[in-house]
Amino acid sequence: MTATTASPQPAAPRSDRSDEVRKALRTVDTGRRRKDRAMQVVVYVAFALAVIPLISVAWTVLSNGIERFDWYFLTHSMRGVFGGMDAGGIYHAIVGTFEITLGATIISVPIGILTAIYLVEYGRGSLARSVTFFVDVMTGIPSIVAGLFAYALFAVFFGPGISMGIMGSIALSVLMIPVVVRSTEEMLKLVPNELREASYALGVPKWLTIVKVVLRTATAGIVTGVMLAVARVIGETAPLLITVGVIDSINFNLFDGRMMTLPVYVYRQYSQGYVPCNDASAVCIPEINFDRAWAAALTLILIVMVLNILARLVSRYFSPKIR
């Protein structure tokens, strides 16, 4: 960068004068330089400060969770497990998290992408302005309110006290839609207008242009956005606690009965606390609930990380180079 600053001096009449100018440009007076240095330190310190809790979280989860994290843990449910038994896993929670998140994705991706298309390709006038505005507002909806909404929606139609997986999907999709809209919108805007115009010039109808040219050009970005949105909602606890409840057996049916999900599982295990272990004859681990909580947290973090890394890879290797 310093090279760029110093180079454009070709028209200087005399060489020693140009050297002077160059020197003046390069040397900054001490006050400004000190301020520059100070800000550099501030910025470095800010980063260091952020890294401390981040490492702490990662280390705590990893060191506490790795012990119980194995194949058995991943592929068994909690049915019939009680007390300090050395048993039980998170298969039912993985199933629940997978299905509920998938449901949320199926609901929110079409709506999100179509809305983004509307905003970028069609949207003019007051409707578009208000959609843009309210999508922004929607990003600020607290997750627990989304959960209450899903509860209220089903309570109105099915009576109070109901809980099933799809309620969780709806709650999560309320959180997911604005994220998908925003990321897709940004991606569609990045598609050069020349591409659209070229397509129109060839007589391709607008909808086909959008599907075949605009969307395909933006695919990688959209996929990345969706994956990040999934990663964002997959760890939501509060709305699922309210809508989907808890269960200790496997439930594959999204439309009937409670389901367990990973974040709720973590919270439940944590809040069950220590096991008394009064019976010396049985196998009993006092801190089994905490172990399971940490191991489930580790699983959850790994899932989210994999999603993030995949999203990164998709955007890195498959997106067309525009800049």
Partner 1 sequence: MERHVKLSRISRVGTAVAVGALALTLTACGSDDPVGDAAGGDDSAATSDEATLSGSLNGAGASSQEAAMNAWRAGFQSAQPDVTVNYDPIGSGGGRTNFIEGATSFAGSDAALDDEEIVDAQARCLDGDVLELPMYISPIAVIFNLEGVDQLKLDAPTIAGIFNGDITSWDDPAIAEQNPDATLPATAVTPVNRSDESGTTENFTEYLVAAAGDAWPHEASGDWPVSGTQSAQGTSGVVQTVQGGDGTIGYADASQAGDLGTVEVKVGEEYVPYSPEAAAKVVDASENIEGRGQYDFALELARDTTESGAYPIVLVSYHLACAQYEDQAEADLVKGFLGYVASPEGQEASASAAGSAPISDALRTEVTTAIDAIGVK
Partner 2 sequence: MTTTAQQDAPRVRTRRRRSSDRGVNRAFRITATGAGALILAVLAAVAIFLVIEAWPSISAGSETLAESISWFPEDANLLTFVGPLVFGTLLGSALAMLIAVPLAIGIALFISHYAPRRMAQALGYVIDLLAAIPSVVYGLWGAIVVTPVVQPVWEWLSSTLGWIPLFAGPAANPARVMLTVAVVLAVMILPIITAVSREVFLQTPRLHEEAALALGATRWEMIRTAVLPFARSGIISASMLGLGRALGETMAVLMILSPGAMYSFAVLQAGQQQTIAANIAAQYPEASGLGVSTLIATGLALFVITMAVNMAARAIVARRKDFSGAN
Q: Write the binding mask 206 to 225 for partner 1: x where contact by CB under 8 A, - elsewhere.
A: ----------xx-xx--x--
Secondary structure (3-state) at 88: coil
Q: By C-alpha distance, which of 224, 220, 227, 205 is closest to 121?
A: 205
Q: CA geometry: angle at 269 spanning 57 and 281, to 5°? A: 120
Shortest Å, Cβ 318 to partner 2: 17
286 binds partner 2 (CB under 8 A): no
Question: Interface with partner 2 includes 207 (CB under 8 A)?
Answer: yes
Could you tell me the smallest distance in angstroms from the CB atom of residue 54 to partner 2? 5
Q: How many CA atoms lie within 13 A of 25 on its CB side?
A: 14
Binding mask 145-174 for partner 1 (x = CB under 8 A): ----------------x-------------
* Cβ closest to partner 2, residue 227 vs residue 283: 227
Six token digits for residue 227: 């994956």
**3-state class of 92 per DSSP?**
helix
Instruction: Considering only residues 219 through 258, tell me which ones interact with partner 2, judged by CB under 8 A.
Output: 228, 231-232, 234-238, 241-242
Q: Which of 44, 59, 72, 255 is the binder for partner 1 (CB under 8 A)? A: 72
Footprint (CB under 8 A) of partner 2, residues 59-78 = 60-61
Interface positions, 243-272, toward partner 1 (CB under 8 A): 248-250, 270-272
Q: Which is nearer to partner 1, 178 or 245 (CB)?
A: 245
Token representation of residue 28 = 């900054």
Q: Which residues of 147-172 are buried (b: 16+ CB within 10 A; e: fewer)?
A: bbbbbeebeeeeeeeebbbbbbbbbb
Would you state the torsion angle of the CA atoms of residues 186, 189, 191, 193, taken in this order, to the nearest 10 degrees?
A: 180
Sites of contact with partner 1 (CB under 8 A): 72, 74-89, 91-92, 94-95, 98, 161, 216-217, 219-220, 223, 248-250, 270-279, 282-284, 286, 310, 314, 318, 320
